[in-house]
Amino acid sequence: MSATTLNPLSIFANIWRHRYLLGQLIKRDVLLRYRGAMFGVLWIFLSPLIMLAIFALIFGHIFQARWPQQEIGIPFWLLLYTGLIAFNVFAETISRAPTSVRGYPNFVKKIIFPVNILPVVPLGAALVHAGFNFLILVAALALTGHLQVGILLFPLLIAPLALLALGLSWFLAAWGVFIKDMTQIVPVLVQMLLFLSPVFYPVSAVPELLRPIYQYNPLGVVIETSRAIVAAQPVEWGAWGMAFCFCLIVAILGYAFFQHSRDEFADVL
């Protein structure tokens, strides 16, 4: 394995080199998902809003969940929605990663096609959805009088999760070619992570013994820091920086593994 393969600048330069093709694949992926639907691309807004309403009802009224940030007037549903935006970038990407290569056998068998950008497509689509959800969040913060200039940092704060999702996407895309069961295993793991991550509850509600697991894993760090800027609270940049470095390493290793495995894809498919 060459040193170039493990060079992050080389990896992202390669993605940038194929940005037009990648953009077209992401656009096609997003539009195909809503083709034929009565409300079309409006589901980009409707789906998260419906789920948000359900979660807010269950955890905000039935279970009467209370978070420290609510003491300064931040509504529960805004805190929940913030966590969901961050988590869904990760969840949507890795849920679709196992089929990102196996679903395009014709592309894989073309020698000149850059197969390594195929696992990036799910991440691109997830970021498109996150962008629309972010606009909803900004509008909601403005309407409730809680909009702060710090919200502009939101795209930066979710960068570690994007890197983590990308690295795992390269791993899962390669495994998905050889192990078809990955399409069944990954969604179950995503559902487990949804409840094991501080999406529906703050880290402060976790038992003291388990709290370090939440405080130092990238999902917990990004979700908590995202909520901090929404609530105009200090961001723990040290924890965020550690999460970023860890996720960058995962992305590099994922890319290296994918490149190591790609020569066998055509034979399997």
Rg of the Cα atoms in the chain: 19
pTM as predicted: 0.88
| Sequence-ordered list of residues with C-beta below 8 angstroms from that of 59, at least 6 positions apart, any chain | 65, 76, 80, 200
Q: 64-73, 140-149, 165-174: which range is least confident on average?
A: 64-73
What count of residues does the chain have?
Answer: 269
SS3 category, 256: helix
CB atoms within 10 A of CB 110: 11
What confidence category does residue 73 fall into, taking pLDDT thresholds of 50, 70 and 90? Answer: low
Residue 100: predicted pLDDT: 87
Point out the least confidently predicted range of 49-58, 82-91, 173-182, 193-202. 49-58
Residue 110 φ/ψ region, left for φ over 0, alpha for ψ in the -120 to 50 degree band, beta for the rest:
beta
Handedness of CA 215, 221, 225, 226 (dihedral sign): negative
Per-residue confidence band for 4, with pLDDT thresholds at 50, 70 and 90: low
Over the stretch 12-42, which tens digit does the pLDDT of each residue have?
A: 888 889 899 899 999 888 888 777 666 666 7
Distance of CA 217 to the CA centre of its chain: 14
**Is the distance from CB of 97 to CB of 126 less than 8 angstroms?**
no
Q: Is residue 2 scored above 60 in pLDDT?
A: no
- In sequence order, what are the residues at sequence separation of 6 or more whose Cβ sits closer than 8 angstroms to the Cβ of residue 206? 198, 214
Residue range 76-101, pLDDT digits in tens: 778 888 888 999 999 999 999 998 88
DSSP string, 178-245: H-TTHHHHHHHHHHHHHHHSTTSS-GGGS-TTTHHHHHHSHHHHHHHHHHHHHTT----HHHHHHHHH
Q: How confident is the model at residue 248 (pLDDT cuts 50, 70, 90)?
A: very high
pLDDT of residue 70: 58
The tally of CA atoms less than 13 A away on the side-chain side of residue 202 is 15
pLDDT more than 90, % of the chain: 31
Reduce the DSSP state of residue 16 to 3 states and report it.
helix
List pLDDT tens digits, range 50-69: 877 776 677 666 766 666 65
Cα–Cα distance, 165 to 94 (Å, whole number)? 6
Higher pLDDT, 155 or 103: 155
State the average pLDDT for the chain: 84
Average pLDDT over residues 191-203: 85
